[in-house]
Amino acid sequence: MLEIRPTCENCNKSLPNDSKEAMICTFECTFCKDCVESILHNVCPNCGGGFTKRPTRPSHLLEKYPLSTKIVYKPVDQKVFKELFNKYKDINARER
């Protein structure tokens, strides 16, 4: 089941369940739309995959399936990311 993490891994921006700014990769790495578009350019710094909008958990199921409280805050190291970005920047996310 999707964790629905509460913040952006890079800037620590709050990303509540109903956030239209929350983006995830296939491994549930969670970033805000601003970081994905302006810093990461749709390349996950953890796995090299692409991003998609994170779904919203239906409110009537929140009690039974609570949101994650796990905060993963590890700002992107631009020197390390540059190599990964250069490897994947010209490859469609579905083909990486």
Q: How confident is residue 94, by pLDDT bands cut at 50, 70 and 90?
A: very high
Give me the domain span that covers residue 82: 1-57+65-96
DSSP state of 14: B
Query: How many domains would you assign to the chain?
Result: 1
Strand-strand pairing, 30-32 and 52-53: unpaired
Find the CATH number of the domain harbouring 12. 3.30.40
**Would you tell me how many other CB atoms lie within 10 Å of the CB of residue 49?**
18
pLDDT tens by residue, 14-62? 999 999 999 999 999 999 999 999 999 999 999 999 999 999 999 999 9
Q: How confident is residue 70, by pLDDT bands cut at 50, 70 and 90?
A: very high
| pTM: predicted TM-score of the whole model, two decimal places | 0.93
Q: Coil, strand, or helix at residue 39?
A: helix
What residue spans of 1-96 are helical by DSSP H?
33-35, 78-88
